[in-house]
Structure 1
């Protein structure tokens, strides 16, 4: 096994030793979808949505919520705690490079969060008759880009935060405005032009719209894919630049 695969396996085992983080990162999104699906009005076809349901509109938002909680509240706090407890300082004496460490964290997070995405989609389809994405390839592409963008932001927070608690606090401060522009409280279609434009340039606003477009059977807009790629490159580069062992 390569150093990356061994480190990824180790980080996965350590991740599952944190029950609170595991619950909110992996179990909360499917449970939230079930709660929303039990509301009758969420399942009623809406003429304004082309016969679709509000629940179908919220499936990508719930998936984005899970990614945001994983990256901003789970991954960032876990990684910063490693530094605070001296775990990273001890790793400094090994051949492990910062890029390998960051790569292992991203790979672990990507695989686990993808599993949650699949569970959410299956619950929506078989429990509440929400159609699966009409453009599967585009959906996977949009998901990968929004995941990479959010994990890069989470690792950037972890790289600059002085402690695990500070990383959790910063992640929470970033989480709520990003979820607002993702449409959690006010759907993007209901936003005024100014809010909608701002949303287009946020990772979750661009990400949710990309997933909704793919669900409807369309390819995401180039603007949204470019925004996601830009966030992943910039935040990822800064995370590697400001990575600190101690």
Structure 2
């Protein structure tokens, strides 16, 4: 028995180390590919920053027009969430679906990669993209409008983490379900823009008609936005939306990993 355990243990360790090595190599390659994609850079980073700058300038810095606080600060916090949505609903689905369409995933399988390596690499890619895009937004906003102080760092940080995991999981799942990059782009934009216009990037829901307000307040991206923006700006603790988004994160991540096993 002792000899059997001794023989098995190194093999298990070698397999685990090989899986980690493959995941790191995949992630490095994915980062290079995404950084060279103009669509990703413009849509995930450039578009939200331009909208934030425009709307922040339109509504000024005094609470009015339904804004409970400085409108520019409202949009800085909100467009941080917009970048999470753009990453999860557009960037990742298109990227992964293009792999499926070109047969790249089959070649990964034939090469003997660990079945979890691709899923982990894509989840890490999405989280890194959120960090980079969010940092870019804050760097641009700081000299123009100033970055609003974080009133509740712990809850706001949890909101960013849970919201990012939820939408990265959704993005990986969509990419493994949709048959082509064109289909992923169409479905992703169809999911993204209503959430963007109603729940996150548009006006406060308090100025919307009741029907639209009910829809806007219950969109997943809007819930993620509330979990981030409310504790960030001191508008609430965001606990209810955070719990809902946490449930979405668990389900989406489990399904994404299951679907993307090689």
TM-score range, shorter chain: 0.7 to 0.9
- Indicate which of 162, 174, 181 corresponds to 1:145: 162
1:118 to 125, 131, 135: 135
Which of 239, 242, 245 pairs up with 2:259?
A: 242
- The whole-number CA distance in structure 2 between the counterparts of 1:17 and 1:98 is 27
Q: Which residue matches 1:57?
A: 74
Residue 95 of structure 2 is aligned with which of 69, 78, 89?
78
Instruction: Give distance in 1, aligned partners of 2:129 and 2:23.
Output: 16
Q: TM-score, normalization: structure 2? A: 0.81
Q: Is the 8 A contact 2:148 2:233 kept in 1?
A: no
SS for the counterpart of 1:92 is helix
Deviations 1:68-112 (A, max 9, x none): 222211110110101111111100023423432121112122112
| Structure 1 counterpart of 2:24 | 5
1:102 aligns with: 119
TM-score by length of 1: 0.86
The alignment yields a C-alpha RMSD, in angstroms, of: 2.4
Q: CA deviation at 1:232?
A: 1.3
List runs of 5+ in structure 1 lacking aligned partners. Answer: none
**Please, which of 180, 187, 199 is the counterpart of residue 163 of structure 1?**
180
Displacement, 1:198?
4.5
Of 18-27 and 210-219, the range deviating more from structure 2: 210-219
Q: Shift of residue 195 of structure 1?
A: 4.9
* Shift of residue 59, structure 1, vs aligned partner: 1.6
CA distance in 2, matches of 1:244, 1:167: 19
CA separation of 1:200/1:33 partners in 2, compared to 1, >3 Å: closer, same or farther?
A: closer
* Aligned residue number for residue 29 of structure 1: 48
User: Quick check: 1:43–1:53 contact (8 Å CA) kept in 2?
Assistant: yes
- The answer to whether 1:172 aligns with 2:182 is no
The runs of 5 or more residues in structure 2 that have no matched partner are: 1-19
Tell me the equivalent position of 2:4.
none
Corresponding pairs, count: 242
Task: Output one character per residue of 1:18-75: Cα deviation in whole Å (capped at 9) or x when no partner.
Answer: 1122221123222322233343xx223116655x321211122212222222221111
1:204-236, Cα deviation, whole Å (9 max, x unpaired): 111111222122246633221111111112222
Q: CA deviation at 1:9?
A: 1.0
